[in-house]
A = this chain, B = another copy of it.
Amino acid sequence: MTNPVVNKTAHPFDKARLESVLAHRFFYAPAFEIYGGIAGLYDYGPPGSALQSNIILEWRKHFIVEEHMLELDTTIMTPAPVFETSGHVARFADWMVKDIKTGAVLRADHLVKNVLSARLVSNKEARALAAQPQKEDEKAKKKAKKDKGKPAPVQLPDELAAEYENILAQLDNYSGPELGELCRKYNITNPDSGNEVTEPQQFNLMFASSIGPTGQHPGFLRPETAQGHFLNFSRLLDYNNGRLPFASAQIGRSFRNEISPRAGLLRVREFTMAEIEHFVDPEDKNHERFAEVRDVELDLLDRHVQQAGSTQVSRMRIGDAVARGVIANETLGYFLARIHLFLTKIGIDPERLRFRQHMANEMAHYAADCWDAEIENSYGWTECVGCADRAAYDLSVHSKKTGHPLVVRAQLPEPIVTERDVAEYNKKALGKTFGKDLATITQAIDAFDEAQMVKLKDELSHGSATIQSPDGREFKLTPDLLTIERKTFKQSTREYTPNVIEPSFGLGRILYSLLEHCFWSREQDVERGVLSLPPVVAPTKVLIVPLSAKDEFKPLVKEISLKLRKAGVFAHVDDSSQSIGKRYARNDELGTPFGITVDFASVKHHTATLRERDTTIQLIGPADDVVAIVTELVEGTIDWAEACRRLPVYEGVQAE
């Protein structure tokens, strides 16, 4: 009774229904809607803002607080020279094509993907139809009735279908000209018009602006927060007392002027990111806390599997993946595991989460290796977190451009002591003998390796030696001009440019995928949608529902509200005139995990009922016990089964 099985898959996932709930409850909505909207810009309403804030709070705890990261808040507006150096002005671009007649702009890779995917779907339909044991004319009739106006499915030859599958599996690996070739070879046209498209051209994805009144300072809106970390590297290193490794972290807005955004929150022109730049010694990418995550299991899809045209994941313990070299080093592995733990903690379905390695041509210009956490949703597998090894790329280019050293000077644990032979010159005598060739000679000898030096020493000890300068001339040297002596050298510091491991989170994509994973309809009524958001991220934790707005309920409602607020639990009172059932239905759609009902009996006996969203089971108990138990439920120290052990089930009648 207390733990009935809730059937969340009684109805298939209905995207239209979810979208209607999200719009109606104002999780988010197209920005500037009353002005006709602009593609790729969305506003978050109260529940969406709260959900986003809660995801950020949890992110801050999981990463920044837990790992003592150094938080930053740097500017979005960035002078152009920074992105010239970082390579973004030249290379942060997508390939676009234009419809040769209408001029409509399309992203080249999306065009290829959409057209080939559609042909594969059509192929499958055609084959299914052909396999049905029906008479030809019946089939035709049925089809015509069902599809109206939709083109008849077209069956593809086996080899062509295989070619398409192969192209799609490695689509991110094609260059612009290659995408153009695909369009020609497979006759890919604009599906909206049927017209041919132009050759792919690059379109830079940064929004441009100009800083100050004179127009002398072109600027861009950052497409990532990362450069703000790199430019402050010296200050961060100082703040960390000069020690490595350390990580900086930043949560903030970034902008990408997408060519033709169409996938809701998944492809937007303005978005909130959370980025970590973990600075590490390139010679030691082990991680101090790797042992803590060694046994976390991930679904991995490495580069080689994809290049073979497959998307078959391997489930692997992260310890094994690093040991076998599937993942390059412990630090990268550590972060992949921590990303997995974070995503599943906030409610992402682990069965719909995989880590995919970038293929060579797919990687951003700054990356040496990259794994994406991809989450499956109705749009397919979606990159939600990138985890790139940017090596020393960014620090090196900025350092070179500005002349400001972005390096670490590390004290060596033991100074390195070396002995070697060096030449001691009698410069006066050398000058007299060789004049202006003096420098040529000393430079040639200073460049000698150990073997050459031993030979020179030996020859001099026998009276004289002949050396050759780089330009081929020979000089005869005698012991009065120079001697070779054994000397000791001591090196106590080492200077290096750190490498950077960068986990970079697209919060909007995570938030949207989470909403899909959490949405279902009640078995008995498909119209009653529920968002099973975990308490940790739910916008409101507890709904307090008095039977009506009458004064007699107010003191107890106020008492419970205050006690919850004191306990740090965000509750909301709904004393609107709708029935309790309707109010609970609204809050099921808002993802509120718990409800507290106050009725006449509550007022009389100082009790309350406690409702759990997914099961709709209600418990009853003294008001203070209910407050205490719901607080523990929200904090995650107990689960619902434990709550059911502590309080009896409410058997009374209450409209649901």
Chain A positions within 8 Å of B, measured between CB atoms, are: 25-26, 29, 31-35, 38-39, 41-46, 48-50, 52-53, 65, 68, 70-79, 81-82, 96, 103, 105, 203, 207-214, 217, 219, 221, 228, 231-232, 234-236, 238-239, 241, 252-253, 255, 257, 259-260, 269-270, 272, 398, 402, 404, 565, 570, 572, 576
- B residues in contact with A96, CB < 8 Å: 213
CB distance from A570 to the nearest CB of B (A): 7
Whether the pair A81, B35 counts as a contact (CB closer than 8 A) is: yes
Whether the pair B29, A232 counts as a contact (CB closer than 8 A) is: yes
CB distance from A264 to the nearest CB of B (A): 14
CB distance from A57 to the nearest CB of B (A): 10
Whether the pair A235, B79 counts as a contact (CB closer than 8 A) is: no
CA distance in complex: A214, B235 (Å): 41
CB distance from A652 to the nearest CB of B (A): 27
Whether the pair A228, B76 counts as a contact (CB closer than 8 A) is: no
Whether the pair B71, A105 counts as a contact (CB closer than 8 A) is: no
**A44-B29 CB under 8 A given contacts A105-B213, A231-B35, A255-B77:** no
Whether the pair B43, A72 counts as a contact (CB closer than 8 A) is: yes
Whether the pair A44, B231 counts as a contact (CB closer than 8 A) is: no
**A105-B214 CB under 8 A given contacts A253-B253, A398-B34:** yes
Whether the pair A241, B105 counts as a contact (CB closer than 8 A) is: no
Q: List 21 A-B contacts (CB under 8 A).
A: A26-B235, A29-B235, A32-B231, A34-B402, A34-B404, A38-B211, A43-B74, A43-B232, A45-B236, A46-B72, A46-B236, A50-B71, A52-B73, A53-B71, A68-B572, A75-B270, A77-B207, A96-B213, A208-B210, A213-B257, A253-B253
CA distance in complex: A213, B76 (Å): 21
Taking a contact as CB atoms closer than 8 A, the residue among B38, B253, B255 that contacts A79 in the complex is B38
Given contacts A25-B239, A26-B232, A34-B402, 7 further A-B contacts (CB under 8 A): A26-B239, A34-B404, A53-B71, A105-B214, A209-B209, A209-B221, A213-B257
- B residues in contact with A236, CB < 8 Å: 26, 45-46
Taking a contact as CB atoms closer than 8 A, the residue among B103, B217, B228, B238 that contacts A31 in the complex is B228
Q: Which residue of B lies closest to A250 (CB)?
A: B49
Q: Which residue of B lies closest to A24 (CB)?
A: B238
Whether the pair B576, A241 counts as a contact (CB closer than 8 A) is: yes
CA distance in complex: A253, B271 (Å): 12
Q: Which residue of B lies closest to A243 (CB)?
A: B576
CB distance from A366 to the nearest CB of B (A): 18
Q: Which residue of B lies closest to A66 (CB)?
A: B565
Whether the pair A75, B213 counts as a contact (CB closer than 8 A) is: no
CB distance from A108 to the nearest CB of B (A): 12
Taking a contact as CB atoms closer than 8 A, the residue among B25, B46, B209, B231 that contacts A33 in the complex is B231
CA distance in complex: A570, B231 (Å): 27
- B residues in contact with A33, CB < 8 Å: 231
CA distance in complex: A72, B53 (Å): 11
CB distance from A349 to the nearest CB of B (A): 25
Whether the pair A43, B228 counts as a contact (CB closer than 8 A) is: yes
- B residues in contact with A103, CB < 8 Å: 214
Instruction: Give the residue among A26, A252, A260 with the most B Cβ atoms within 10 A.
Output: A26
Whether the pair A209, B207 counts as a contact (CB closer than 8 A) is: yes
Whether the pair B253, A78 counts as a contact (CB closer than 8 A) is: no
CA distance in complex: A70, B564 (Å): 19
- B residues in contact with A50, CB < 8 Å: 71
- B residues in contact with A81, CB < 8 Å: 35
CB distance from A548 to the nearest CB of B (A): 15
Q: Which 3 A-B pairs have the closest CB atoms?
A: A44-B73, A43-B74, A34-B404
Whether the pair A253, B76 counts as a contact (CB closer than 8 A) is: yes
CA distance in complex: A73, B253 (Å): 11
Whether the pair B32, A73 counts as a contact (CB closer than 8 A) is: no
Whether the pair A209, B208 counts as a contact (CB closer than 8 A) is: yes
CB distance from A205 to the nearest CB of B (A): 9
Taking a contact as CB atoms closer than 8 A, the residue among B74, B210, B213, B241 that contacts A203 in the complex is B213
CB distance from A10 to the nearest CB of B (A): 29
Whether the pair B74, A257 counts as a contact (CB closer than 8 A) is: no
CA distance in complex: A605, B41 (Å): 60
Whether the pair A34, B74 counts as a contact (CB closer than 8 A) is: no
Q: Which residue of B lies closest to A205 (CB)?
A: B213
Taking a contact as CB atoms closer than 8 A, the residue among B74, B207, B269, B565 that contacts A44 in the complex is B74
Taking a contact as CB atoms closer than 8 A, the residue among B49, B402, B565, B570 that contacts A73 in the complex is B49
- B residues in contact with A219, CB < 8 Å: 38
Whether the pair B74, A31 counts as a contact (CB closer than 8 A) is: yes
**A45-B31 CB under 8 A given contacts A38-B211, A239-B26:** no
CB distance from A579 to the nearest CB of B (A): 14
CA distance in complex: A402, B32 (Å): 11
Taking a contact as CB atoms closer than 8 A, the residue among B25, B234, B253, B259 that contacts A213 in the complex is B259
- B residues in contact with A253, CB < 8 Å: 76, 252-253
CA distance in complex: A572, B31 (Å): 41
CA distance in complex: A404, B34 (Å): 7
- B residues in contact with A29, CB < 8 Å: 232, 235
- B residues in contact with A210, CB < 8 Å: 207-208
